[in-house]
Amino acid sequence: MHFSARSAWSIFIREIMRAFRTAFQSIIAPVLTTSLYFIVFGAAIGGRMPDLGGVDYGAFIIPGLLMLTLLGETTSNASFGIYMPRFTGTIYELLSAPVGVGETLAGFVGAAAVKSLILAAIILLTARLFVDYSIAHPVLAFVYIILVAASFSLFGFILGVWADNFEKLGIIPLLFLTPLTFLGGTFYSIEMLPQPWDTIALFNPIVYLVSGLRWTFYGSADVDIWISFAITLGFLATCIAIIATIFKTGWRLRA
């Protein structure tokens, strides 16, 4: 079956419009929450913190806060986008329509990724109100954010297919992603941790994501940038393989 851009665009637009209908939850609330982090950690605490790697503390936490919001919102948007058609039964209309895997992923995952990119842009603009910062490698930062958004949109899609109730839908972002991101160097450098915690921290995959984005901003990080890119690409490929298997077998879609 050939790729139908019209089908993908229809799904994409529907999901984007859903985000605007729930703008407070999808966009405004995450921005307000991130702004509070900037006020508390950037302004209040940051003035008492030393520079980290030559970077002002308020600016140092920007990549971590951006990643914190990006991972949570991307996963939630993508998982909810595919879960609701399953919950309401409209998924069968999609499965019976002449729409292939490519169109479905481009629509659902593409919309979740675009919403996350819009949110990331708003957060970066909001950060200007609280702290002065610059991006050393803007092109790499943009590419890296797209990779992370695409990866976790795919992950959220898998989560939305796996979940059979609302509790399961929220358990991964709340109990795993958010704590791992807080422990992944969002507000500190893992080099500040004593032994053996600095070594243990390297087993947290979010460390590599936060570190990779921080490198694109300031040219230095806890982990080599190419290791971060490799892990991100590996996670992206794994999610694609899992989704291909889901559509091939119909797991949780046709049940």
In a domain, 233, yes or no: yes
> Is residue 149 in a domain?
yes
Q: What is the pLDDT of residue 97?
A: 67
Q: Assess contact for 12 and 106: CB atoms under 8 A.
A: yes
Tell whether 254 is covered by a domain: no
In a domain, 103, yes or no: yes
How sure is the predictor about 132, in pLDDT bands with cuts at 50, 70 and 90? confident
Provide the domain count of the chain: 1
Contacts of 56 (CB under 8 A, 6+ apart): 46, 131, 132, 133
Nearest 10 degrees: Cα torsion 164, 168, 172, 175: -170
* Tens digit of each residue's pLDDT (9 = 90 or more) over 90-110: 766 666 666 766 787 788 888
DSSP per-residue letters across 22-46: THIIIIIHHHHHHHHHIIIIIIIIG
| DSSP element (H, E) containing 94 | helix 91-96
Give residue-wise pLDDT tens across range 159-203.
988 988 888 888 888 888 989 998 898 888 898 888 888 899 999
What are residue 55's DSSP bridge partners? 52
Chain mean pLDDT for the chain: 85
User: Tens of pLDDT along 213-244?
Assistant: 999 999 988 899 999 999 999 999 999 999 88
Q: Is the Cα torsion angle 19, 161, 175, 223 positive or negative in sign?
A: negative
140: enclosing H helix or E strand: helix 138-162
Domain range for 160 is 5-249
What residues have CB less than 8 Å from 74, skipping those under 6 apart?
112, 113, 115, 116, 148, 149, 152, 153, 156
Instruction: Kindly state whether residue 35 falls inside one of the protein's structural domains.
Output: yes
Q: What are phi and psi of 52, to 5 degrees?
A: -110, 110
What's the rounded Cα separation, in Å, for the pair 64 and 87?
Answer: 34
